[in-house]
Structure 1
């Protein structure tokens, strides 16, 4: 769990409070002017209600240029970011013809398969000529090709399960398959930081859902014991089925699942284990087989193994692997298999080829080199960030590295200044994270060279100095405009405590920021 320093929490709450107060003030006058101009649409229901509408208009729109930046190249180690402009204070953004060539630290291109590959690309092109860009059908009608059958056999062998089922969308693998695995009368116990696809799948299943503290095996056991003792709500009958759902690498934290402890507890209480390896399969482990291989867990002890092909394999879609009986059942019940268009043949061929490269079946050792490089890059970059004083979440070997920003003003400041220095990063804020836990999420790739990482570290270090987000911060503080246009330097004494920055009148997107001594 993330422990927020009291002073950081106070300053962050204060910044949000100021934004809320000024936003309400502006809304008050907007309503008056709308009434005066006769713009009120009486009788029409609002599309968005309450705080969601307020947050979108008064907080998100200020910084929406930091999210969803379009690109015009493959998401390789370096990427072309399309520049956008706004003439209405960020309410709308228009693409321009200008692009910035940036070092890419935002894509899930863990093994570097997103760009053209000497082994994969020719085979993908051949598959498009032999089959088509799309099957134009579901798996149960005319959408199953020999490539789909080969892919499922390849995936099952790779993850160490008897059978596998592939879908055309990674998100739907969780959200559509979970309701087929468990329903009313069942109990789902989910990690508190599981992905939204798991949350929606659990809600749609009709099962009772309980949550345990993130990655805390002792609390999981407590929740299991309590709910087994109580039974189903109202009737207190025994649960028909109990399923514990965890992730291999948590995408917003970069942490590895404590799988050995969780598996031991599930064995003790006869609960099924559902493991989401979206970010871990292909990226960690000696041969890329994910968190089970890295932590020494027998795949036979994990009942359902889920993963996606969008990260390490440079393709799209997802898979579910398990026993032959479970997979056969899902083929007759899962909406993602029965009603959705099957994964495209070129995408299927890309996955097959990538797995062959990872396993060395292409006749080279490039797969082993990629796995060694992503591990080396991840551990080097994490170590260097920590030496600089940044608060970095996650575990060693994980290619996901969140840098904590906390204060709302630091989100656009970090993102815009990095882009200005040709570094493409992803910043994450509420509602994707809790309100106080805004962060920049760094994703490393095997395609990054040591020179790339040193350049990125220099940029992050300079930006970190600017927005005062190092853990071992000096007494020299700066009031930072969120648009990174004006920096006013101050030398403050530590005993002076908290100081409030002032907004720049020249900058319409400026956010008031509190700095810490």
Structure 2
């Protein structure tokens, strides 16, 4: 892969000699000229690179994550000498920071900030779904039909004239096939044709930029051959909303110290010797951050839903689920044995109509009253970028007396003026939601998930949730990342008087109900939980002053809000059809045709001078005709990075005929020039 030349783009790479680095070559080879690379030779190349990198003995010194000192540190030197290039400083940068540019871009222009919150004077906007022209729908359906017909024809002829290639799909030696030809048809005949844009291996930190392994296929994507080189691309695909995915800085230093003190594994389950003091500290911080009485953490985000929902509901209970809820919630409901009904995505009218029906009819056959009714929704929906209408659901909750479960996997950290999720965005007391679930993989740069709520409920989940006795406890380094990032968002109070701290925060009251789970009654207006008392943190954890007051994290939250609104508004003005809420960091761009989706991903990845790494999504994750590109915006991106994305989309959209949106269109230069005005106008 050729080294990218320097340009005005903040993501372009500086040319430097790479004669000793086996991952970089100066000449671009065609596919036919590339030498055959076996697995052994590839692993040998990787091993040589690791040995070469480890041979350098450079002492690292702790560096603040967002320091404004102009001097470079040894941490930056390590990055420069291994697999990272120095990115040119952003055009808005006024000060040099010790944060590595490839991980977190610097933007000192305060006009590129926005506060993520709902205007109470305006009603919650309804989701607008734009439909493409009929010829787009026709060609999309026709392309699928053509692939299905050709695929079945190839299977029919292949089983007769090339049986050796289909032996695994046919009965042989008395064995039935593990996977039938019908079950594997979609994967073999449709997905394989666009497989080049899926399962793309990466390397390094998934920050502002990312290293993508170069590969090619000579057998129509049945196998992939790796060239041994990598390409650094602008990362617009990772769930790194607040930009905490960093290998350098105070967060990484804290994680490194935790490994020295605790090791890399808890070596046990939470109920069987796997709970350490970091688990208790992290859970207390999460509960304070969310604004609830208590919280528990789980080592896997998917398992947080799939293993704890069965502890909430069972036979005789009813779960009402949004039709676009995540698979983890669906699996958890399925394992619980409860009845389930679904309502139209984010449609409060459909939800209320369903509530009236199920409450009046009761359980099937017997028509007895339901033991419990639990409504499960998401704060932000990962494929649509839409936001739940929380005020309306809480209004329905008070009217129909059901329990509310909000999955904030994508909204926690990314929404609200304090990063506390969808409740913070709408200024709704967290106690008005019975169960708040979220993950640490998106905004916190960690892993796992949490459930927050009343203490009585959390204690019950600790005992009855499947993760407690069966799942490995969260690893100490991951816990320390959660502690460090959560602390930086809230800030550290110099006053260690917990009683004083509690008196300044709202303490909701809980009353028992006939269904056995405490329902909350909000008596006062919601107050901000405040900063973290220093006594609540590990004694050995030292947080820099630049992070202790929470100002650095607030900058991240506001940068994310600006970037998200700017990208979405810019795509709209260019004429694209997008889904989602204006404040959502998830921005789906509709391509409709799967062939265009593949070409979009390839053209973005090979774009010069700044390649872009994007994620594309198609059926069965989305409806058949709504293939899309899903952009994930981060606080680590600068305004110029979003400009790069918009310019690339503008050019590729014209080539692939993707601009089918309604409304007045602006030229790209006007969008870039009037970005601040555009952000505040939507």
Give your verdict on TM over 0.5: yes
2:555 corresponds in structure 1 to 369
Among 365, 371, 375, the residue aligned to 1:240: 371
- 8 Å CA contact 2:171, 2:177 repeated in 1: no
Write the distance in 2 (CA, Å) between the matches of 1:22 and 1:38: 16
1:111-130 pair list within 5 angstroms = 111-130=242-261
- 8 Å CA contact 1:77, 1:448 repeated in 2: yes
Write the distance in 1 (CA, Å) between the matches of 2:604 and 2:596: 12
Among 613, 633, 647, the residue aligned to 1:424: 613
1:150 corresponds in structure 2 to 281
Q: Does 1:22 align with 2:150?
A: yes
1:442 corresponds in structure 2 to 631
- 8 Å CA contact 2:577, 2:661 repeated in 1: no
1:313-332 pair list within 5 angstroms = 313-332=444-463
**Offset of 1:87 from its aligned partner?**
2.8
Secondary structure of 2:193's counterpart equals coil
**Offset of 1:325 from its aligned partner?**
0.7
Distance 1:151-1:462 versus aligned 2 partners, 3 A rule: same
Among 571, 574, 583, the residue aligned to 1:388: 574
Write the distance in 1 (CA, Å) between the matches of 2:130 and 2:634: 29
Distance 1:36-1:165 versus aligned 2 partners, 3 A rule: closer
**Offset of 1:55 from its aligned partner?**
0.6
Among 558, 565, 568, the residue aligned to 1:379: 565
**Offset of 1:135 from its aligned partner?**
0.7
1:468 corresponds in structure 2 to 657
Write the distance in 2 (CA, Å) between the matches of 1:369 and 1:117: 18
1:59 corresponds in structure 2 to 190
Q: Which ranges of structure 2 fall in alignment gaps of 5 or more residues?
A: 1-126, 493-546, 663-682
**Offset of 1:451 from its aligned partner?**
1.5
- 8 Å CA contact 2:158, 2:165 repeated in 1: no
**Offset of 1:198 from its aligned partner?**
0.8
Deviations 1:166-195 (A, max 9, x none): 000000001111111101100000001111
Q: Does 1:70 align with 2:198?
A: no
1:168 corresponds in structure 2 to 299
Write the distance in 2 (CA, Å) between the matches of 1:170 and 1:65: 27
Write the distance in 2 (CA, Å) between the matches of 1:52 and 1:83: 31
Write the distance in 2 (CA, Å) between the matches of 1:136 and 1:82: 33
**Offset of 1:96 from its aligned partner?**
3.1
Secondary structure of 1:433's counterpart equals coil
1:90 corresponds in structure 2 to 221
1:190-229 pair list within 5 angstroms = 190-229=321-360
1:398 corresponds in structure 2 to 584
2:431 corresponds in structure 1 to 300
1:477 corresponds in structure 2 to none
- 8 Å CA contact 1:217, 1:261 repeated in 2: yes
1:270-285 pair list within 5 angstroms = 270-285=401-416
Residues 19-28 or 419-428, more deviating = 19-28
Among 412, 418, 429, the residue aligned to 2:598: 412
Secondary structure of 2:373's counterpart equals strand
- 8 Å CA contact 2:212, 2:231 repeated in 1: yes
Write the distance in 2 (CA, Å) between the matches of 1:163 and 1:289: 15
- 8 Å CA contact 1:244, 1:266 repeated in 2: no
Distance 1:38-1:229 versus aligned 2 partners, 3 A rule: closer
Higher strand share: 1
**Offset of 1:46 from its aligned partner?**
2.5
**Offset of 1:360 from its aligned partner?**
2.8
Secondary structure of 2:342's counterpart equals strand
**Offset of 1:44 from its aligned partner?**
2.5
Q: Which ranges of structure 1 fall in alignment gaps of 5 or more residues?
A: 474-517
2:23 corresponds in structure 1 to none
- 8 Å CA contact 2:359, 2:369 repeated in 1: yes
2:141 corresponds in structure 1 to 13
**Offset of 1:252 from its aligned partner?**
0.4
- 8 Å CA contact 2:194, 2:595 repeated in 1: no
Among 109, 116, 132, the residue aligned to 2:240: 109
Q: Does 1:336 align with 2:474?
A: no
Deviations 1:416-443 (A, max 9, x none): 1110111100000011111111100000
1:479-494 pair list within 5 angstroms = none
- 8 Å CA contact 1:360, 1:368 repeated in 2: no
Write the distance in 2 (CA, Å) between the matches of 1:387 and 1:416: 24
Runs of 4+ in 1 over 6 A off after TM superposition: none
Deviations 1:423-471 (A, max 9, x none): 1000000111111111000000000011211112111211111111001
2:641 corresponds in structure 1 to 452
Distance 1:38-1:113 versus aligned 2 partners, 3 A rule: closer
2:73 corresponds in structure 1 to none
Write the distance in 2 (CA, Å) between the matches of 1:48 and 1:187: 35
- 8 Å CA contact 1:360, 1:366 repeated in 2: no
Aligned-pair RMSD on alpha carbons?
Answer: 1.6
Among 161, 165, 174, the residue aligned to 1:33: 161
Q: Which has the larger radius of gyration?
A: 2
Write the distance in 2 (CA, Å) between the matches of 1:461 and 1:59: 28
Write the distance in 2 (CA, Å) between the matches of 1:443 and 1:241: 36
How many residues are treated as equivalent by the alignment? 473
**Offset of 1:4 from its aligned partner?**
3.5
